[in-house]
Amino acid sequence: MRELRPWISLIFRRPGRLLVGGLLILITLLSGMGLLALSGWFITATALTGLLLATGVQASLNLYIPGGGIRFFAVARTVARYAERVYNHDTVLRLLTDIRVALFERLSLAARYRRTALRGPQWLSRLTNDVDALDTLYLRLIAPTALAALVTALLIVVAWVFYSQALAIGLLITLLPAFLVATVVVYLRTRHLVYRQTDARERARTDVIEHIEGFAELTAAGRTGKHAALCLRQADQIARNDSRADTRTGWNLGLAQVMVNLAVVLAVWMGLQLFQQGSVTGPVVVLLPVALLGLLEVYSMLPDAFARLGGTLASAARLNRDCVAESAAGSAASQPPADPRHALELDQVTVRFGDHSPVISRFDLAVLNGEWVNIIGNSGAGKSSLAEVMAGLEIPASGCARRITSAYLTQQTVLFEDTLKANLLIGRPDASDADVWRVLGLVAMADRFTREPAQLNTWLGSMGSQLSGGEARRIALARVLLNEAPLIILDEPFTGVDTHTRNSITADMKQWLGEKTVVALGHAPEALPASDRTLRLS
C-alpha cells in the first residue's frame, strides 16, 4: 500500500470537499435505510394496532410523524442522491486536474524523462491508463469503504443501545467478516491476478505488433498460423486472468451478501426473543432487520473496487518509478565555457548507448562567440546525439560539454495543441505581438496567418496537424529564433521546407541573429545556411 501514499496525500489536500462529498453519500444511504426501516416499523405498528381495533380494544397510533418521516426520507434520498452525484463528480474532475498537474510537475523535474526509454507512444498510453486508475480512487474505493464501516458501526451501536448487548455482538460477529470478505479478502484473492495484467497486456501488444510487422516474412515462410496462435494464446491468458478475477469477485460479493442476510435473520431471531421477553415492542423488532437489508446496497459497491486495487497499486508503483524527481542530475550538465571567447566547448566527448560501440568518440570542438558552424553527417552518424550533448540534454559517456545559454531546435518538430501565439511565446514569454509577427515574417509564415480569421490566435490542431510538415518546422524554427539565448543550436532546421523558401529564410536569418553564435547540423551542406566553418562527421 506504500505505493499509494503520495497519491492519497494529494487527494486529501481537499479535505473539505471529500468530507462534504462523503456526508452526501452518507445521507443518501441513511435516507434509503431510513425509508425502508421506518416503513417496516409503520406497517408493523399499523398491523398490530389494526388487530387491536378489530377486536374492539381502544387503541390509537400517531400517523403523522411516521407518515411525514417516510415522505421526508423519500425526498431526502432523491435530493441527496442527485446532490451527491453532481458534487462528487465535480470532485473527481478536480482531483483529475490535481493529479495530472502534480504528475506533470514531477515529470518536468525527472532527469530520467530525458532518456529515451520513457517517450514512446506505448509509454504515453500506459501513463494515461495509470493516471485514470488513480482518478477514481476516492469515489470508488476510499469513500465507500469508509462509509460502509461507518454505517455498520452505527447499526451495531443502535443494536447495543436499543436492543441487547448479545444482538450487538452477534451482528459484530456476522458483519465484520462480511466487511472483510467484501474488501480485504477480495483484494488478496485477486491481487496476483491483476497486478501483472498491465505488463502482460503490454507484452501482448508488443508481440502482436511484431506479428503484424513481420506478416510478409511469416506468410512467406508459412508461419503466420503458428505465430498467430501464440498471440491468441497470450490474449486468451489475459482474458482468463480477467475472468478468474471477476469470478472470484463475484463469489466474494455473494458471500458478503449471505453474511449480511444472515445478520438480518439473526436480528429477527433475537428481536423476537426480546419481544417475547417484553423488552422491545413489535414495530421495533422489524426496524433493525429492515435497516440491515439496506447494508446490502453499501456492501455491493465494495468488491469491485477492491478487485481493481491490485491494478491501481501497480499503476501507482509505475508512476512513482517513472516520475522520480532527480533535479540535481539535470543541472550538473550546465557549465560555462572555460575560455570566455568561446560560446561552446566540447572536450573529448564520447557518446555511447549501453555496451554498443560509441556513436561519437573523443570529439573536440570549440566555437567562438559569434561564429557560425555547420556540422554535416549521414543519418546514423551521431548528429542528433551530438546536438543533444551540445544542448545539455544528453550527458556524454566521457568528456565534457560546456556552453553559454543556448536555444535548441530539436530534430523532431514539437508543436502543442494550442494557439499559434502560445506556441511561439514558449520561446520568449514576454514577446509582443509585433515581435511574433516579425519572426513569422522571417520564416515566411506571416502571410499564411494574416489570412486566418483568428490570426495569432489560430489553433494548431493535434500535433500541429493543420500545418504541413514544412510549415510546422518553420514555426518550431521561429520559436527558437524568438528566444534570446546567445547560442543557437539547430538540428536539421529545414526538414520539409522547399529550396526556394529555405533560401529566402537563410538570407534574412543572418541579420535577425546578428551577433549570436549558431551551430547547425544537417545531412548535407545545402540543407543548412551558409557558415563560417563546416565540419564533417564520419
Partner 1 sequence: MAEPATARAWLGGLAAHGRPLILATVSAGVVVGLATIAQMAFLAGIVHQGLVAEVPVEQLSLLFTGAVAAILVRGLAQGLQSRFAARCSRKVRSEVRHQVNRCWQATGPVAMGQISAGTLAREWLDHTDALHGYFARFLPQMILAVIVPLLVLVVVFSLDWLAGIFLLLSAPLIPLFMALVGMGAEKLNQQHFQTIGRLSGQFLDRVRGLTTLQLFGQTATAAEILRERSDDYRRVTMKTLRIAFLSSAVLEFFSSVAIAVVAIYIGFGLLGYITYGPAEDLTLFSGLLVLLLAPEFFQPLRLLSQHYHDRAAAMGAGEELVRRLQSVEAGAQAAQGSFQPQSPDLVSVRDLSLAYDRERPVLDQVSLEVSKGDVIALTGPSGGGKSSLLYLIAGFMQPDRGNISVFGAAPGIQPFGWLGQSPFLVHGTWADNVRLTTPDATDISIETALRQVGLGDLLNNRKSGIYSRITEDGQGLSGGQARRLSLARVFVANYDLILLDEPTAGLDSDSEIYILEALHKLALAGKTLIFATHHQALLTLANRTLLVSEGGVQDA
> Judged by CB under 8 A, which of 141, 253, 309, 520 binds partner 1?
253
| 179-218 positions binding partner 1, by CB under 8 A | 201, 204-210, 212-218
Indicate the residue among 100 and 451 with the shorter CB distance to partner 1: 100
Q: How far is Cα 134 from Cα 188, in angstroms, rounded to an integer? A: 19
CA 494 to chain centre: 36
Measure Cα distances from 162 to 135, 170, 265, 319, 436 in Å.
41, 14, 18, 50, 76
Q: Is 404 in the site for partner 1 (CB under 8 A)?
A: no
C-alpha cell of 2?
506504500
Q: How far is Cα 301 from Cα 28, in angstroms, rounded to an integer? A: 14
Indicate the residue among 23 and 426 with the shorter CB distance to partner 1: 426
The DSSP line for 263-291 is HHHHHHHHHHHHHHTTSS-HHHHHHHHHH
Indicate the residue among 87 and 437 with the shorter CB distance to partner 1: 87
Is residue 143 exposed (0-12), middle (13-18) or buried (19+ Cβ within 10 Å)? buried
Alpha helices by DSSP H, 214-341 = 215-220, 224-276, 282-300, 302-322, 327-331
# chain residues binding partner 1, by CB under 8 A: 141
> Judged by CB under 8 A, which of 1, 2, 58, 117 binds partner 1?
117
> Judged by CB under 8 A, which of 53, 176, 431, 513 binds partner 1?
53
Instruction: Give the shortest CB-341-to-partner 1 separation in angstroms.
Output: 25
Choose the binding region for partner 1 from 155-163, 422-430, 448-456, 528-536 (rule: CB under 8 A): 422-430
Instruction: Give the shortest CB-253-to-partner 1 separation in angstroms.
Output: 6
Q: Is 255 in the site for partner 1 (CB under 8 A)?
A: yes
* Strand-pair partners of 517: 487
Q: How far is Cα 160 from Cα 374, in angstroms, rounded to an integer? A: 86
Indicate the residue among 214 and 399 with the shorter CB distance to partner 1: 214
Q: Is 461 in the site for partner 1 (CB under 8 A)?
A: no
Q: Is 12 in the site for partner 1 (CB under 8 A)?
A: no
Neighbours of 205 (CB within 10 A): 15
Q: Is 446 in the site for partner 1 (CB under 8 A)?
A: no
Q: Is 114 in the site for partner 1 (CB under 8 A)?
A: yes
Q: How far is Cα 211 from Cα 226, in angstroms, rounded to an integer? A: 11
Instruction: Give the shortest CB-364-to-partner 1 separation in angstroms.
Output: 25
Choose the binding region for partner 1 from 120-128, 151-159, 313-321, 449-457 (rule: CB under 8 A): 120-128
Measure Cα distances from 450 to 423, 445, 468, 482, 509 in Å.
17, 9, 17, 19, 21
Is residue 252 exposed (0-12), middle (13-18) or buried (19+ Cβ within 10 Å)? buried
Q: Is 232 in the site for partner 1 (CB under 8 A)?
A: yes
> Judged by CB under 8 A, which of 174, 312, 483, 517 binds partner 1?
483
Indicate the residue among 461 and 496 with the shorter CB distance to partner 1: 461
Indicate the residue among 53 and 368 with the shorter CB distance to partner 1: 53
| 285-304 positions binding partner 1, by CB under 8 A | 285-286, 289-290, 293
Would you give the binding string for partner 1 spanning residues 74-103, x where CB under 8 A is met?
xx-xx--xx--xx--xx--xx-xx--xx-x
Q: Is 343 in the site for partner 1 (CB under 8 A)?
A: no
Choose the binding region for partner 1 from 116-124, 308-316, 340-348, 503-511 (rule: CB under 8 A): 116-124
Q: What are phi and psi of 489, to 5 degrees?
A: -115, 125
> Judged by CB under 8 A, which of 49, 320, 455, 466 binds partner 1?
49
Q: How far is Cα 536 from Cα 44, in angstroms, rounded to an integer? A: 97
Indicate the residue among 1 and 524 with the shorter CB distance to partner 1: 524
Q: Is 407 in the site for partner 1 (CB under 8 A)?
A: yes
Indicate the residue among 74 and 368 with the shorter CB distance to partner 1: 74
Indicate the residue among 231 and 535 with the shorter CB distance to partner 1: 231
Q: How far is Cα 430 from Cα 497, in angstroms, rounded to an integer? A: 28
Closest CA to 136 of 101, 176, 91, 178: 91
Q: Is 237 in the site for partner 1 (CB under 8 A)?
A: no
- Residue the block writes with cell 435530493: 79
> Judged by CB under 8 A, which of 12, 13, 128, 184 binds partner 1?
128
Indicate the residue among 66 and 522 with the shorter CB distance to partner 1: 66
Choose the binding region for partner 1 from 119-127, 163-171, 434-442, 526-534 (rule: CB under 8 A): 119-127
> Judged by CB under 8 A, which of 39, 198, 361, 411 binds partner 1?
39
Q: Which amino acid is at 321?
A: R
Measure Cα distances from 16 to 8, 75, 93 in Å.
15, 25, 15
C-alpha cell of 16?
473539505
Q: Is 144 in the site for partner 1 (CB under 8 A)?
A: no
By three-state DSSP, how is residue 527 classified? Answer: helix
Q: Is 264 in the site for partner 1 (CB under 8 A)?
A: yes
